[in-house]
């Protein structure tokens, strides 16, 4: 049986686990909002129209921050349409997803929902078809206490206290020609810098995210970040990254190695940001906001031009299987392995649209396979990310070359003493024997060992079988003689919690 080794030692650290790494994304797209998080006539709806079954799953998922309202949607959005009396709100064409937006759910509804879900809001402003003035109006309406036209307008809408949103995205994917208001890097860098400068005049403590590239394969990747950051470096705190993964052409080995692509993208954007900082003689370090990531079978999507201007159409409602869950687990490992620079991340999206949570209108809500590695990682990855360098056999892939079969990281919570190991076996052949050196934790004992694996890697969860795929406890795992040895089945995700005192 192939073998792999790694060492866990608290002396070797990457950085602290930022709780914002476990973010999600709610966009006015498909059924994410309507019949997803919001369905007033659902049997489980509360007094605000929010589905309480979905709220329960969101809390279980462990989401910490949610980006809103887009996404492509935001680049043609007028925030004013979604506030005030519902009966007076206009119906608009959403040019991004060729649907009709009722605006029944808007800014204040989202903030009320976020409060019930216990998540931090991350707001995006429209820098596609609008600009600095409209962004400042939204900021005043949202964050100013009272005594001005827009803050008092919010209060007249029944929201006395400001929402106090701390993190703001300066537009969305404006490098992409599919975006309303698509811009060159210079055009976007200029308006982003002016908007950021003005928003910081309102409140210097705001945390602002500049648009990075929409993917790592677009022709302007890296040069876009370099130009944008030369304009905005002094005013922003983050640059965004977006990436989606699927088995292109049925290449499952490369798909299982998707984390290698994410790893390279993070490294490239970090290097680009630091290069700009060096050119500007700045001591500041820009952090990364990986605020769109997930498995998305884009090859199945006919494109927005196939849509026919319906309200909340069914749209990219991918059903996820075991392999998809293992890939999501490996992507979470990658985000943790870059905890020194990735300060926020949002899995896209939260409900129905390429989502960990699925719903039926008037019906049930359930957990997709990808729900489980996210929920367990969000719950147990705390404290400090340890520098883990596995010695592992390799898998040969067409897209990324040779990658380690074992992809792993670990966290150490000094307060509780708990060490948590997260590991993925990306190979599809034999099981892998993993030995973890625990000499730095001589009192370590196994508290919990969970495994997500199935002989049928295409197994999925449905409304009829909502728990077909889930992590299952592994009994009998022990740490003996300063080492932990476990068998990892092929195409599997594993979490082992260790008490160290």
Burial class (CB in 10 A: 0-12, 13-18, 19+), 300: exposed
Choosing from 173, 225, 246, 418, which is the catalytic residue? 173
* Farthest CA pair distance, the chain: 71
| Encoded tokens for 60 | 């279980």
How far is residue 7's CA from residue 391's CA, in Å, rounded to a whole number?
A: 9
Q: Give the Cα separation of 459 and 172 in Å (integer).
A: 34
- 16: which residues sit within 8 A by CB, 6+ positions away? 339, 383, 384, 385
**Selection from 261, 193, 196 nearest residue 227 by Cα:** 193
Q: Residue 349, preceding bond cis, omega within 30 degrees?
A: yes
Q: Is 101 a catalytic residue?
A: no
Q: How many helices and strands (H and E) does the chain possess?
A: 10, 25
Distances (CA, A) of 216 to 178, 228, 295: 16, 16, 15
CB proximity list for 364: less than 8 A, separation 6 or greater: 53, 463, 466
- Contact between 72 and 96 under an 8 Å Cβ cutoff? The reply is yes
d(CA 428, CA 2): 12
- Cβ atoms of residues 140 and 97 within 8 Å: no
The SS3 of residue 208 is strand
Q: Does residue 464 carry a catalytic annotation? A: no
The residue annotated as part of the active site, out of 39, 80, 109, 292, is 292
Give the side-chain half-sphere CA count within 13 A for 424: 27
Closest CA to 130 of 91, 186, 183: 183
> Residues with catalytic annotation?
173, 292
């Amino acid at each position: 049986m192939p073998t792999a080794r790694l060492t866990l030692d608290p002396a070797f650290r990457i950085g602290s686990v930022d709780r914002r790494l476990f973010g999600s994304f709610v966009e006015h797209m498909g059924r994410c909002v309507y019949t997803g998080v919001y369905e007033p006539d659902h049997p489980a709806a509360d007094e605000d129209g929010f589905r309480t079954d979905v709220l329960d799953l969101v809390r279980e998922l462990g989401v910490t921050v949610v980006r809103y309202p887009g996404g492509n949607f935001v680049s043609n959005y007028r925030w004013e349409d979604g506030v005030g009396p519902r009966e007076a709100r206009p119906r608009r064409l959403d040019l991004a997803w060729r649907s009709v937006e009722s605006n029944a759910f808007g800014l204040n509804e989202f903030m009320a929902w976020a409060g019930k879900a216990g998540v931090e809001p991350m707001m995006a402003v429209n820098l596609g078809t609008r600009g600095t003035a409209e962004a400042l109006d939204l900021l005043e309406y949202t964050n100013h206490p009272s005594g001005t036209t827009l803050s008092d307008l919010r209060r007249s809408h029944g929201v006395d206290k400001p929402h106090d949103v701390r993190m703001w995205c300066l537009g969305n994917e404006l490098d992409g020609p599919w975006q309303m208001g698509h811009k060159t890097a210079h055009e976007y860098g200029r308006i982003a810098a002016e908007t950021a400068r003005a928003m910081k005049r309102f409140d210097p403590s705001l945390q602002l995210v500049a648009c990075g590239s929409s993917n790592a394969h677009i022709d302007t990747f890296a040069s876009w970040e370099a130009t944008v950051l030369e304009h905005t470096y002094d005013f922003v705190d983050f640059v965004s990254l977006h990436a989606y993964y699927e088995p292109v052409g049925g290449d499952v080995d490369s798909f299982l190695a998707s984390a290698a692509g994410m790893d390279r993208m993070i490294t490239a954007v970090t290097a680009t940001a630091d290069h700009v900082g060096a050119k500007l003689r700045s001591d500041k370090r820009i952090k990364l906001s990986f605020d769109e990531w997930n498995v998305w079978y884009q090859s199945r999507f006919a494109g927005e031009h196939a849509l026919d201007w319906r309200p909340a159409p069914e749209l990219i409602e991918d059903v996820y299987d075991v392999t998809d869950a293992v890939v999501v687990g490996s992507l979470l490992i990658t985000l943790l392995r870059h905890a020194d620079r990735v300060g926020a991340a949002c899995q896209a999206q939260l409900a129905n649209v390429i989502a960990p949570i699925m719903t039926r209108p008037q019906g049930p809500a359930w957990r997709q396979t990808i729900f489980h590695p996210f929920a367990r990682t969000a719950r147990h990855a705390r404290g400090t990310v340890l520098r883990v360098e596995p010695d592992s056999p390799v898998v040969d892939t067409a897209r990324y070359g040779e990658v380690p079969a074992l992809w792993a990281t670990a966290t150490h919570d000094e307060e509780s003493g708990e060490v948590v190991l997260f590991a993925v076996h990306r190979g599809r052949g034999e099981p892998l024997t993993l030995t973890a050196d625990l000499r730095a934790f001589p009192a370590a004992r196994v508290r919990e060992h969970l495994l997500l694996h199935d002989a049928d890697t295409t197994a999925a969860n449905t409304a009829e079988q909502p728990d077909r795929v889930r992590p299952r406890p592994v009994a009998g795992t022990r740490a003996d003689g300063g080492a932990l040895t476990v068998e990892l089945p092929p195409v599997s995700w594993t979490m082992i919690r260790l008490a160290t005192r």
